């Protein structure tokens, strides 16, 4: 299947990154296979927990919020076979399913947040009759999906004021609808700014080695008729020097308590370039992306991926045999390079442990979903 993004039923216009098909006992998870974009829009159906794990590991679904929602549905699928087990056996199987899904990708904290919620829901339902257990799990997964969509909407509203009309905005990797259950995080801000009538031109870093910016971000923006120009990652500094960019907006995969932020490899370089050119650098992420158990970014685990993603990208050899390759999937941008973090609860500015705690604990003046700030501009 190829063509325009399918619309979700609530009319937000977000891509159907994932959707549950059928009932709790025999249903399955349908995903857009993002490895096929932009050439074709292909959907896959996952009926076994190993298929869900493979989809996450192989980046058929990616983006921290989308990974969390997908894993939640993966728990439902993994527990279908244990529907009539004793409570003790049910919980043993639950541990096995959760551990298997947790091993798929180590950096995106939303994965572990969603699995913890599903585990708590399963434990509360262990004494119920089998079918009711699965219904409880499916309701929890669907609630996680709904919350993610609502968070995307709020992030868009809260961040839109940061984008001036006529701005060029640089993005890195993909933080749109394909990375979430809704309109995205970084792209939600752009979508909301455009909905307000602002003129925005997006410069999308290719995002090597897997080109999520070129393949996915550009594709999403084209679906919305938002002007977008793809550049290689190495062009970002020159584009900034030419004054084509007035803001940088990225997503995040894990944010430490002090604001240090892990995101797709290359984000740290973009943040350094933005600071050098006096361009504001913004991060957009839901509260579930914060890992307050980590004081700073030094403790964030960084996933390293296979050699062939660099040495043989898309099947084409680019590195001589027997030459070493280093392939970290993420880097960490220090909080002092981030001008603001946009969450569903408000805008965190300045970015430090105190303002993060204040916003996440709800100590804002947010009214009617509008942007609120804690701290000085």
Q: Report, as residue numbers or ranges, the catalytic residues.
A: 253
Tell me the CA distances in angstroms from 362 to 123, 158, 189, 292, 354, one per residue in order.
28, 14, 21, 15, 12
Query: Are the C-beta atoms of 305 and 371 separated by less than 8 Å?
Result: no
Tell me the CA distances in angstroms from 101 to 70, 76, 199, 319, one per residue in order.
10, 12, 42, 32
- Residue 249's DSSP bridge partners are 282
Residues whose CB is less than 8 angstroms from the CB of residue 59 and which lie 6 or more positions away in sequence, other chains included: 34, 35, 210
Q: What pairing do the DSSP bridges indicate for beta strands 261-264 and 330-333?
A: antiparallel
Return the H-helix or E-strand segment holding 281: strand 281-284
Report the chain's terminal Cα–Cα distance, integer Å: 47
**What b/e readout covers 128-139, taking b as 16+ CB neighbours within 10 angstroms?**
eebeebbbbbbe
Packed helices 87-102 and 64-79: angle between N→C axes, nearest 10 degrees: 150
Give 74: exposed, middle or buried? Use CB within 10 Å, 0-12, 13-18, 19+.
buried
d(Cα 188, Cα 238) in Å, to the nearest integer? 26
Query: Are the C-beta atoms of 330 and 355 separated by less than 8 Å?
Result: no
d(Cα 127, Cα 259) in Å, to the nearest integer? 41
Site of tokens 């990154």: 17
Torsion, Cα 131 137 139 145, to 10 degrees, reads -150
Cα 45 to the center of its chain, rounded Å: 21
């Amino acid at each position: 299947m190829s063509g325009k993004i399918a619309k979700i039923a609530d009319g937000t216009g977000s891509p159907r990154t994932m959707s549950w098909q059928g009932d709790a006992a025999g249903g399955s998870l349908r995903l857009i296979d993002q490895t096929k974009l932009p050439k074709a829009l292909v959907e896959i159906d996952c009926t076994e927990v190993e298929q869900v794990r493979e989809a996450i590991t192989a980046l058929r679904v990616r983006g921290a919020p989308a990974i969390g929602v997908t894993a939640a549905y993966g728990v439902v699928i993994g527990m279908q076979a244990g529907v009539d087990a004793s409570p003790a056996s049910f919980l043993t199987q639950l541990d096995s399913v959760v551990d298997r899904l947790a091993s798929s990708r180590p950096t995106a904290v939303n994965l572990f947040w969603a699995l913890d919620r599903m585990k708590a829901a399963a434990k509360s339902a262990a004494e119920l009759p089998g079918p009711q257990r699965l219904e409880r799990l499916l309701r929890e997964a669907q609630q996680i999906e709904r919350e993610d969509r609502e968070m995307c909407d709020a992030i868009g509203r809260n961040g839109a004021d940061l984008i001036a009309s006529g701005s060029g905005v640089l993005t890195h990797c993909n933080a749109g609808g394909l990375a979430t259950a809704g309109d995205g995080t970084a792209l939600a801000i752009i979508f909301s700014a455009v909905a307000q009538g602002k003129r925005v031109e997006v410069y999308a870093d290719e995002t090597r080695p897997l080109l999520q910016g070129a393949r996915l971000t550009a594709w999403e923006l084209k679906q919305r008729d938002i002007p977008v120009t793809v550049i290689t990652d190495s062009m970002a500094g020159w584009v900034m020097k030419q004054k084509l960019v007035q803001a940088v907006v990225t997503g995040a995969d894990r944010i430490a308590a002090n604001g240090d932020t892990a995101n797709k490899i290359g984000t740290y370089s973009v943040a350094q370039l933005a600071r050098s050119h006096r361009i504001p650098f913004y991060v957009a992420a839901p509260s579930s992306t914060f890992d307050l158990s980590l004081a700073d970014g030094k403790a964030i685990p960084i996933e390293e991926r296979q050699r062939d993603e660099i040495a043989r990208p898309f099947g084409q050899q680019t590195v001589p045999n027997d030459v070493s390759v280093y392939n970290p999937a993420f880097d960490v941008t220090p909080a002092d390079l981030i001008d603001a973090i946009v969450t569903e609860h408000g805008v965190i500015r300045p970015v430090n442990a105190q303002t993060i705690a204040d916003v996440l604990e709800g100590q804002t003046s947010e009214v009617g979903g509008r942007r609120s700030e804690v701290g000085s501009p």
